[in-house]
Amino acid sequence: MAEFTMELNDDQKQVRDWIHGFAAEVIRPAAAEWDEREETPWPVIQEAAKVGIYSLDFYAQQFFDPTGLGIPVAMEELFWGDAGIALSIVGTGLAAIGVVANGTEEQIGTWIPQMYGTPDDVKVAAFCSSEPDAGSDVGSMRTRAVYDQAKDEWVLNGTKTWATNGGIANVHIVVAVVDPELGTKGHASFIVPPNTPGLSQGQKFKKHGIRASHTAEVVLEDVRVPGSCLLGGKEKLDERLARAHERARAGGGGERVKNAAMATFEASRPAVGAMAVGTARAAYEVALDYAKTRTQFGRPIIDNQGVAFQLADMRTSIDAARLLVWRASWMAVAGKPFTSAEGSMSKLFASEVAKKVTAQAVQILGGNGFTREYPVERMHRDSAIYTIFEGTSEIQRLVIARAISDMPIR
C-alpha cells in the first residue's frame, strides 16, 4: 500500500524556504512603496528573474511536481510577501497557462519563453478574456476573430478589460468569438505577438487593492495575427466547431466542451486559492504578534478570550483553506476529475477566508490596523480581489452547485 503523507519532502521545503526568504527580504520591504506608486515594480520583477523565481524553468519545475504541491506552495509564500507585487511576478503565469491548456507543443516552445524574457530584459504577458459587458457571463463576449483565408490570418476586433499586464505585455493571449452561433463553444484563444499593429492599451485602472499590479483595458482594432497564432491550430478548431454544430442540430447533450477561457481558469483556481491563503496567513501572523505585545489594562490583549478566540478561528480557517487547495492541486496532477468542483471549492473557501481573516486582523490592531503604518490595512484591501477575479465567489458556488446536483442551476 502506498504511503500517505501530508509532509512536504525535502526538495519542497527547500523551495518553500527559498521563496519565503525572497518574499521577506525583497518583496516585503518594497510593498508599501509600490502600493502607493500604483506602478509595475519592474526592479522587483528583475530581482525575481535574477534569482530564478521569475522564469519559465522555475514555474515548469513547480508545475510538474508529481505531488501537485509545487505551485500552491510557491504562490502561498510569494503572496505572504505582498499580493500586489506577487501578482506582478506571477501574472504572466495566467497567459502561460492559457497556452499550455490550449496550445500545441510548438506554440508552447515558441511563445512562453517570450513571455518572460531574460533577467537582463524581463518581459510580461497578459491573458485577455473579460470585457466591459462580459465578465462572469462569458457568453456575452463580443470580441470577434475572423479568418482571412487568402492571407492565412485572423483579424481581431474588440475591447478587453481587467487584463493583468494589459497593454504593457510583450505577448497577449486573447479569447475571441469565432462562431457566434455556438455561444461559449464558439470561442478560441489567440496569441498576439509583440508590437502587433492595432493593439493598444485603453484605460489603466486605479484599484482598491493589488495596486502594484498593472490592470488595464486592451483595445484591438483590426489586429492581424498569423494563422499559426490560433492556439491549438485551425484543424483542431474546425473539428471542435463541427462537433458542437452536430450536437446543436441533435438537440444538445453528449460531450461537454470547455471554452478557451474556462479551460484556463479551471487550471488556475487552486493556485488563486493558494494566493489567498498566503495573504490570510500574513495578516494572521501580524495580528498574532500584535496581540502578544500590545498591552491594555495591564496585560497583553491576547489574554482576552475575545481576541484569542478570533486568532484561533483565523488559524483554523487558514489551515482548512490550505488543505482544500492542496487536495485540488493533488487531484489535478493525479488526473482525478473535479466531480464535485473541488477546484472551485478551494478557490471559493480560500478567497472568503482571506477577506474574513484580514478584516479580523484590522479589528485586532484597532486604530493602528486602520492606518497605513501597519500592513494589515493593505492586506485587507488586497484580499477583496480573490472573491472577484478568475470567477467570483457567486460563480464558484454556481459551479459547485451544478456539479453536486447535476442540474442546470441558474
pLDDT of residue 265: 58
> Residue 335 phi/psi, 5° resolution?
75, 20
What's the whole-model pTM score? Answer: 0.93
Q: What is the pLDDT of residue 123?
A: 98
Return the pLDDT at 267. Answer: 64
- Long-range (24+ apart) CB contacts under 8 A made by 249-257 are 257/185
Q: Which three cell numbers stand for residue 277?
A: 491563503
* pLDDT for position 1: 41
Provide the 8-state DSSP code for 137. Answer: -
Range 10-122 has CATH code 1.10.540.10: yes
Count of all residues that appear for the chain in the document? 410
> Considering the domain 260-405, what is its CATH architecture?
Up-down Bundle (1.20)
| Lookup result for grid cell 524581463 | 122
Q: Do 169 and 125 meet the contact criterion of CB atoms below 8 Å apart?
A: yes
pLDDT at 254: 44
Q: Which residues contact 291 (CB under 8 A, 6 or more apart)?
A: 300, 301, 302, 307, 308, 311, 364
- The answer to whether 170 and 116 are in contact (CB under 8 A) is no
170 CB-near residues (< 8 Å, 6+ apart): 114, 115, 117, 123, 124, 125, 194
- C-alpha 152/C-alpha 195 separation (Å) is 19
Active site residue 76: no
One-letter amino acid identity for 259?
A: N
d(CA 283, CA 276): 11
Rounded CA-CA distance 25/319 in Å is 25
Marked catalytic residue, from 47, 266, 342, 390: 390
Cα-based distances in Å from 174 to 154, 171, 214, 244, 265: 12, 10, 17, 21, 14
CA–CA separation, 394 and 410 (whole Å): 11
Class of CATH domain 125-249: mainly beta
Beta bridge partners of 153: 148, 226
Q: Largest alpha-carbon pair distance within the chain?
A: 82
Are the C-beta atoms of residues 188 and 176 closer than 8 Å to each other?
yes
Domain ranges of the chain: 10-122, 125-249, 260-405
In degrees rounded to 5, what are phi and psi of residue 242?
-65, -40
Q: Render each residue's pLDDT in the chain as its tens digit; 410 residues.
A: 457 788 999 999 999 999 999 999 999 999 999 999 999 999 999 999 999 999 989 998 998 999 999 999 999 999 999 999 999 999 999 999 899 889 999 999 999 999 999 999 999 999 999 999 887 788 789 999 999 999 999 999 999 999 999 999 999 999 999 999 999 899 999 999 999 999 999 999 999 999 999 999 999 999 999 999 999 999 999 999 999 999 888 875 544 445 555 555 566 799 999 999 999 999 999 999 999 999 999 999 999 999 999 999 999 999 999 999 999 999 999 999 999 999 999 999 999 999 999 999 999 999 999 999 999 999 999 999 999 998 999 999 999 999 999 999 98
Which is nearest to 120 in space by CA: 225, 43, 194? Answer: 43
Residues 6+ apart with CB under 8 A from 148: 154, 155, 224
Q: Crossing angle for the helix pair 260-293 and 305-333, nearest 10 degrees?
A: 150
